[in-house]
């Protein structure tokens, strides 16, 4: 991933004395992450039991369980960081709408290949966000960013391996099902980066909480996933079809 330097040279060692607008941005960003990943810790019936029930092989089950364990630990990071900022991840917090709709799609998955597509897209986006936080201006976040980034890269690789194994095992019928499901997961994957014209993204850049714009991340993401789909001999769908955010 190409690097764009943070705009801010200011760093903050902790929650004390944060400028009000910086604190608001930080809490919003961490709340999005926590709302997404705390599901792994707090809703194992959806995020662990159901996927394991659909996983067709012992290898798939073991890899998914390891993936789930990493995500539970990530949830603990966001909970701790938010608690230090005075935000409690409780039932009311978890009752708020899911901020990125691809995670709602995960819970509606009907076939194991959909979990592969979810990981292929959503965990890859998680790695992109982890990269944004390397050396960021909030030091408590920067200290965990490297581990989060590397583990999310591993999760995205798991999604790719799962898809490859599925194609090898299921043959042409599996390929047809994967291509059919890709039509809904591909636009959801691109939509994870939000609107290209978002004003808030510029505030994140200005305060050193992000490195790249939404459009820069989405363009790099699209090129990466298209290359991986080519390796699977699958044509990428139209990037403008079925999109909610452009």
Residues 113-162 pLDDT 10s:
999 999 999 999 999 999 999 999 999 999 999 999 999 999 999 999 99
30 lies in a domain?
Answer: yes
Residues of the chain with pLDDT under 70: 1-8
78 lies in a domain?
Answer: yes
Q: Using CA atoms, how far apart are residues 163 and 186, in angstroms rounded to an integer?
A: 14
Total structural domains in the chain?
A: 1
140 lies in a domain?
Answer: yes
Q: DSSP letter string over 127-149?
A: HHHHHHTTT-SBHHHHHHHHHHH
Domain extent at residue 37: 20-231
Q: Can you give the pTM of this predicted structure?
A: 0.93
Could you tell me where the beta strands, DSSP code E, fall in the chain?
none
The pLDDT mean for the chain works out to: 94
- Residue 44 burial class via C-beta count within 10 angstroms: exposed 0-12, middle 13-18, buried 19 and up: middle
Tally: H helices and E strands in the chain? 11, 0
105 lies in a domain?
Answer: yes
12 lies in a domain?
Answer: no
- Provide the pLDDT for residue 2: 34
238 lies in a domain?
Answer: no
Q: Enumerate residues 6+ apart whose C-beta is below 8 A from 80.
A: none
9 lies in a domain?
Answer: no
CATH number at residue 77: 1.20.1260.10
Cα-to-chain-centroid distance, residue 117:
12
116 lies in a domain?
Answer: yes
- Provide the pLDDT for residue 180: 96
């Amino acid at each position: 991933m190409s690097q764009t330097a943070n705009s801010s040279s200011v760093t903050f060692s902790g929650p004390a004395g944060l400028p009000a607008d910086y604190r608001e941005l930080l809490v919003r960003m961490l709340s999005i992450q926590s709302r997404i990943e705390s599901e792994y810790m707090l809703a194992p019936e959806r995020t662990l039991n159901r996927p394991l029930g659909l996983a067709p092989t012992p290898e798939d089950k073991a890899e998914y369980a390891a993936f789930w364990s990493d995500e539970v630990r990530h949830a603990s990071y966001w909970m701790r960081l938010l608690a230090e900022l005075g935000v409690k991840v409780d039932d009311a917090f978890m009752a708020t709408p899911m901020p990125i709709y691809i995670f709602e799609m995960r819970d509606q998955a009907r076939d194991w290949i959909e979990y592969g597509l979810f990981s292929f897209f959503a965990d890859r986006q998680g790695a992109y966000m982890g990269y944004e936080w390397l050396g960021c201006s909030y030091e408590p976040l920067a200290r965990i960013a490297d581990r989060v980034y590397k583990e999310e890269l591993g999760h995205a690789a798991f999604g790719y391996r799962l898809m490859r194994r599925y194609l090898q095992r299921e043959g042409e019928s599996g390929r047809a099902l994967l291509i059919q499901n890709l039509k809904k997961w591909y636009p959801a994957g691109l939509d994870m980066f939000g609107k290209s014209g978002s004003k808030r993204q510029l505030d994140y850049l200005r305060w050193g909480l992000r490195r790249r714009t939404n459009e820069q991340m989405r363009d790099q993401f699209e090129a990466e996933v298209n290359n991986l789909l080519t390796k699977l001999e699958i044509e990428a769908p139209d990037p403008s079809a079925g999109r909610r955010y452009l």
